[in-house]
Amino acid sequence: MAAPPGSSTQGGTPGTPRVLRAMNDRAALELLAAHGPLTRTRLGELTGLSKPTASQLLTRLESVGLVRTTGNVTGRPGPNAQLYEIDPAAAHVAALAVDQEGITAAVADITGQVAGEHRVTAPATDESLTNRTGELVAEAVDGALAAAGLGRDDLHSTVIGTPGALDPRTGKLRYAPHLPGWQSRTLRDELAEVLHTPIVIENDVNLAAIAEQHHGTAQDFDDFALVWADEGVGAAIVLGGTLLRGATGGAGEIGYMPLPGAPLARGGPDAAARPDGGGGFQMLVGSPAVVELARDHGIDAPTATKALAAARRTPGAGDEVLTELARRLATGLASVVAVVDPELVVLSGEVAQAGGDRLRQLVEVEMTGLALPRPQLRISELEGDPILIGALRTAVADARQTVFDTARFDA
């Protein structure tokens, strides 16, 4: 991994000792981040650096607060070898997940270890909160920082997951009419001014897919789709290992997708308060639709989770609920599969989790025989909030791009 003599950096710029040193530093830091504590000898083996050079590198990284010692390797012949690890205090990041009922914030160190969390209740239907978005975000972040024993000055960057998507051309949050306080065209700048960190606003289902890609059931797949069935319905498409976003950031907004049995999703004031825009696929498989479907079959429950739990233990009527829901899901999935041909489809969100493997099997049965590719179909097995996990993963990765660049110390 060490750069050979006479090598060049990207773009044809001749290699210099400063540039090559920074490249080796980053390589070592990435290895420590991926593997955990390593000895000087092992780090040298992984990077291709000589023992003296590896020693100098670790001394340099320790002096600038990026690496620290963490005990010794024992139980083997010879002197005990010192272990080195990323210093968690090198940087901290914030991640937020926004939904119709509030904002959840988490703070993690540069290794990805969560240090504090906080939840702020903020119903989207409460008109008094419409102009308080920055204040609510700050309250959520400050609560997580307090739980971690940190302050705003400790934050390096922030990633926020929301329904909808930030249009890169206009800066406006699209496909989320049910979040009225998040519609400002200058939202990102406003939040950056409040928190004093760079802000990334990302689609929540895209973040759930990032979580699956790095920590979940999609780790071994370069081409997959995550279908999120919850209060809102959406999809994230990953092709060749890269997240597909679309021209307006709206790739995967399948909740609006026209399907038989559902009215078309249209705009207007009547649709503005609804995440489905008043029509489309979401009206067939979103959480409210599942509650209504169960009620139509004599199963009365307040939430989709409870409705599907009751359906699983109710012969006859419950079987009908699950079969009909599987048919609806399969109809929407068929459109996704026909267009992007993923190797894997991951089902996530409240509806998928509550339906479990029985629902997955019924969806597979419904898709059998269709003149389409047959991707593997799995239920997400991530523990915790996938959106928050994906936001933390993104925030940590973004922070490392800057923090692990030791050339800044030579500037």
What is the phi/psi pair of residue 298, to 5°? 85, 10
Pick the last residue of a domain from 53, 87, 121: 87
What is the C-alpha to C-alpha distance for residues 51 and 44, in angstroms, rounded to an integer? Answer: 6
The last residue of a domain, from among 43, 68, 87: 87
Cβ atoms within 10 Å of 95's Cβ, excluding its own: 32
Whole-structure pTM value: 0.89
Residues 265 and 360 in one domain: yes
The residue type at 398: D
**Shared domain check, 227 and 375:** yes
Q: Are residues 226 and 348 in the same domain?
A: yes
Domain presence at residue 400: yes
Whether residues 143 and 202 fall in one domain: yes
Query: Could you give the number of structural domains in the chain?
Result: 3
Q: Are residues 356 and 244 in the same domain?
A: yes
3-state DSSP helix/strand/coil % of the chain, to nearest 5: 45, 20, 35
In-domain check, residue 291: yes
**Residue 371: which CATH number?**
3.30.420.40
pLDDT at 296: 97
- pLDDT tens-digit profile, the chain (411 residues): 554 444 444 444 445 788 899 999 999 999 999 999 999 999 999 999 999 999 999 999 999 999 999 988 765 655 668 999 999 999 999 999 999 899 999 999 999 999 999 999 999 888 888 889 999 999 999 999 999 999 999 999 999 999 988 888 888 888 887 788 898 888 899 999 999 999 999 999 999 999 999 999 999 999 999 999 999 999 999 999 999 999 988 899 999 999 988 888 776 544 445 555 567 999 999 999 999 999 999 999 999 999 999 999 999 999 999 999 999 999 999 999 999 999 999 999 999 999 999 999 999 999 987 778 889 999 999 999 999 999 999 999 999 999 999 988 876
Domain boundary (87, 106, 140) is at 87
Residue 293 contacts residue 275 (beta carbons within 8 Å): no
Other CB atoms within 10 Å distance of the CB of residue 385: 21
The answer on 100 and 249 residing in a single domain is: no
Same structural domain for residues 96 and 73?
no
Examine the domain organization and report whether 68 and 96 are in the same domain: no
Considering the domain boundaries, does residue 12 fall inside one?
no
> Does residue 146 fall inside a structural domain?
yes
Tell whether 39 and 181 lie within a shared domain.
no
Question: Do 151 and 194 lie in a common domain?
Answer: yes
Q: Are residues 96 and 83 in the same domain?
A: no
What six digits make up the tokens of 199?
A: 């802000």
CATH number assigned to the domain comprising residue 30: 1.10.10.10
* Max intra-chain CA distance, the chain: 76
Q: Is residue 29 included in any domain, yes or no?
A: yes
**Range of 52's domain?**
17-87
Q: Which of 299, 301, 292 is nearest to 261 (CA)?
A: 292
Is residue 4 situated within a structural domain? no
Q: Show the DSSP H helices in 75-154 as ranges.
A: 133-148
Strand 81-86 versus strand 67-73 pairing type: antiparallel
3-state secondary structure of 222: coil
Whether residues 253 and 368 fall in one domain: yes
Does residue 148 belong to any structural domain of this protein?
yes
8 Å CB contact between 94 and 77: no
Task: Give kind and range of the element (H or E) at residue 72.
Answer: strand 67-73
Q: What residues have CB less than 8 Å from 122, skipping those under 6 apart? A: 101, 102, 103, 129, 132, 136
CB neighbour burial string for 256-290, b if at least 16 within 10 angstroms, e if fewer: bbebeebeebeeeeebeebbbbbbbbbbbbbbebb
Can you tell me the distance from the alpha carbon of 70 to that of 62, in angstroms, rounded to the nearest whole number?
12
| 353: nearest Cα among 232, 214, 230 | 230
Evaluate whether residue 2 is within a structural domain. Answer: no
pLDDT for position 10: 44
